[in-house]
Chains A and B, each alone.
Chain A
């Protein structure tokens, strides 16, 4: 008998169906990949499973027990644990307090048995070979450790099914491996996992079964061993567009951006010369300095040495406004926190940055702004019914296009894209790559920072590999290759 059976699940939001008669079966002791583009209905289905939202129709049988409109508390007690993408931890509390949140061990007169809770946390961490101090504050932990803490928290109370929602986005390769070592061990103990991810290599190295969703519908399921990435991608997007290449060499112009021994917090002595129309990839492990370099160029932190020259002018230090005047635009990582103005509509989100440059002209000319909007909508192939819709109503990929338009609108000549495809589905990713190349062909200079090497293979003219704050290797387009970059970024190349 399977651990989990979901059948005929339907759910509609405001009359729009997001799940149409979907099904999911998870066996005991497996890692089950739940695949689909963003908006395919994966999160909705998981929220129904955990009791966060009620289903309109359908039945859920977990561990031989039928669940009828369960509460979150009930599903937790039955052994379903959701490890969220946005970590649900209390940063100002200690690790063990988070572990036992709402399930504290109490003694006489409701006093908390802190020593016992700490001991039990430590015991669990030891068993999992996780190196976390139960008495540390959560905000002191690294992102990777926080992810492991979330998982440990679920295990403390005998979870039978763990839902991992994109657990690896914020982790570096070493941490990912550690995570899956733990998963493997738990699998042997009979626990099951539902694994939601967009990263094909992980899915194919660590998962046993898969179910594919598309547009709220169940498409297929099977064993990972019987399929391959191309086939799965085809099922997910409904068309095969994964392995195609759009890269072609372009004419390049004068030098636009020149760095000379440029240093700042987290990176040092970066030399770089980028010409008009070039696409440069930056990569390396988490915390290697490439993202910090972008932030420093955009004026978010002060440079500590060297110089940066943009369009022949030396960049003034630590001023976002000056960086924007010089022609730099930063499409920041972590879109939800850094880019989205949630209460504003699409048009307002687009023109906001440009208005800080033209603040002297007080009045907003709606007609002209709309003209620009439709120009960028066409250029970027933005799918939005109206510029007056809230920006949060768009999918991740379309939101990202609004923010690319934001920086095109400021007439930036150097575009810094920090992890531009974070949380974007496969189809929209390919569109973003095409856009980067299109912008380059139109004379923009684009720097792309990403941990996903296949992205760089598609777009970058050359690629800087960072290790420990410095550039360890520069690879031309034809030499960009996953294995080689891994060698350099972990500093294990024996040259």
Chain B
């Protein structure tokens, strides 16, 4: 009796917090495989999740409105590249940050207007802007004055002789109470978006639009505006992520920065329990989804496996988790019907 109720509790917990279980399991595997897990290594997980985690927050919100944003990876390349140029010109951390966020919002606005107001399918719109942003990032890098791009030939590089270079770089790489600052920022931003999506009127409207477009419209919600806003906010988050990226790396390679990040972000979102059909899922899951993926990287390094197998492992874990979520209830229902039949036959 007691056994059964604790089983039910466990299945309910799994259902609502599967992303935490997944993370804990993967983390345990990592702890075992890396014999002698240091605090430093554990903290590095947070640091390496910062960029993808922040992007995934935006992606999660877009998915909740039942849309998709494929352009985030390319947008990261373009915004971070141009932010390096802005830093090299102004030598100001604040202006670089404002530019990154502002320009990110602008890129998001382009997606948002085409999806929300013109009502084009988001898959197509962001597929197109994905190509556009990446192309611009590479083209501009080749064609601007070399001194603006930090002297590199095909990479945007921050000029290390500038006064603000050291403070900027240490922001991206230093720690506060042994916690990486960018990691703290990721946690704070997640907390902010958990608040926005769960406890504000704006957040509830995001869910409503994704759950039933027509129903939300008939309840007086400006659905076009909501969709546009979600893309703009995602752009802004990509801007923040771009700023972190250059603070951590001091450079941005337009060919590789953020490549496949849209796919990792979507995977983190799905692993975090957000429905791609819209309207369902919670923001907290995204953080754990992103962390889980970073840990998988670490496991592969710790086991000294070929890093090319990396994506295969990530893909398999994604399928297994979703399989449990989808197939679990179906199996349980089938067993229940069989039990009921057996009982009925017993009775008669």
Contacts and interface: CB of A to CB of B under 8 A. Distances in A.
Main secondary structure of the interface of A (DSSP, over half): mixed
A338 interface: yes
Contact of B212 (A341, A351, A362, A364): A341
A409 B340 CA distance: 45
A340 B201 contact: no
Contact of B216 (A10, A330, A341, A359): A341
Contacts of B199: 363-364, 366
A320 B217 contact: yes
Give 3 nearest A-B pairs by CB, closest first.
Answer: A57-B344, A343-B279, A343-B211
Contacts of A340: 212, 215
B315 to A, nearest CB: 28
B200 A362 contact: yes
Contact of B280 (A332, A339, A343, A406): A343
Contact of B222 (A10, A356, A410): A356
Contacts of B208: 341, 344, 348, 352
B280 A355 contact: no
A320 B340 contact: no
A356 B337 contact: no
A272 B207 CA distance: 39
B119 interface: no
Nearest to B221: A356
B289 to A, nearest CB: 20
Given A321-B222, A324-B220, A356 B205 contact: yes
Interface in A310-327: 320-321, 324
Nearest to A337: B214
A363 B222 contact: no
Given A321-B222, A358-B201, A363-B199, A343 B215 contact: no
A356 B214 contact: no
A189 to B, nearest CB: 38
Given A359-B201, A406-B219, A56 B341 contact: yes
Contacts of A12: 340
Contacts of B200: 362-364
Contact of B214 (A338, A348, A359, A363): A338
B201 A341 contact: no
B12 interface: no
B337 A56 contact: yes
B344 A56 contact: yes
A70 interface: no
A343 B207 contact: yes
Interface string B192-212: 000000011110110110111
A353 interface: yes
A343 B216 CA distance: 12
Contact of B205 (A332, A339, A355): A355
B39 interface: no
B309 interface: no
B320 interface: no
Given A353-B220, A364-B204, 11 more contacts: A10-B344, A56-B344, A57-B341, A57-B347, A330-B218, A342-B211, A342-B215, A343-B279, A352-B208, A356-B219, A410-B220
Contacts of A410: 220
13 contacts: A56-B337, A56-B340, A56-B344, A57-B345, A57-B347, A339-B215, A341-B208, A341-B216, A344-B208, A344-B211, A356-B219, A362-B201, A366-B199
Contacts of B279: 341-344
Contact of B204 (A10, A330, A352, A406): A352
Nearest to A300: B218
A357 interface: yes
Contacts of B217: 320
A250 B254 CA distance: 74
A361 interface: yes
A54 interface: yes
A363 B199 CA distance: 6
Contacts of B348: 57
Contacts of B210: 343
Contacts of B202: 359, 362
A330 B348 CA distance: 53
Interface of A: 10, 12, 54, 56-57, 320-321, 324, 330, 332, 337-344, 348, 351-353, 355-359, 361-364, 366, 406, 410
Interface of B: 199-202, 204-205, 207-208, 210-212, 214-222, 279-280, 337, 340-341, 344-345, 347-348
A366 B200 CA distance: 10
A152 B91 CA distance: 76
Nearest to B340: A56
Given A10-B344, A57-B341, A343-B280, A338 B218 contact: yes
A64 to B, nearest CB: 23
A54 B337 CA distance: 8
B328 to A, nearest CB: 15
B215 A338 contact: yes
Given A342-B212, A343-B207, A355 B201 contact: yes
A332 B219 CA distance: 10
A352 B202 CA distance: 10
Contact of A348 (B204, B220, B347): B204
A351 B199 CA distance: 13
A351 B201 CA distance: 9
Nearest to B195: A363
A33 to B, nearest CB: 29
Nearest to B200: A362
Contacts of B220: 320-321, 324, 353, 356-357, 410
Nearest to A356: B220
Contacts of A359: 201-202
A358 B200 CA distance: 11
A343 to B, nearest CB: 4
Contacts of A352: 204-205, 208, 216, 219, 221
Name the residue among B207, B214, B279 with the largest chain A CB count within 10 angstroms. Answer: B214
A215 B86 CA distance: 71
Nearest to B199: A364
Contacts of A356: 205, 219-222
B228 to A, nearest CB: 15
Contacts of A321: 220, 222
A117 to B, nearest CB: 33
Nearest to B347: A57
A291 to B, nearest CB: 13
Contacts of B215: 337-342
A354 to B, nearest CB: 9
Nearest to B278: A343
Contacts of A362: 200-202
Contacts of A358: 201
Contacts of A406: 219
B204 A355 contact: yes
A339 B217 CA distance: 9
Contacts of A341: 207-208, 211-212, 215-216, 219, 279
A340 to B, nearest CB: 6
A361 B201 CA distance: 8
A15 B222 CA distance: 41
Nearest to A362: B200
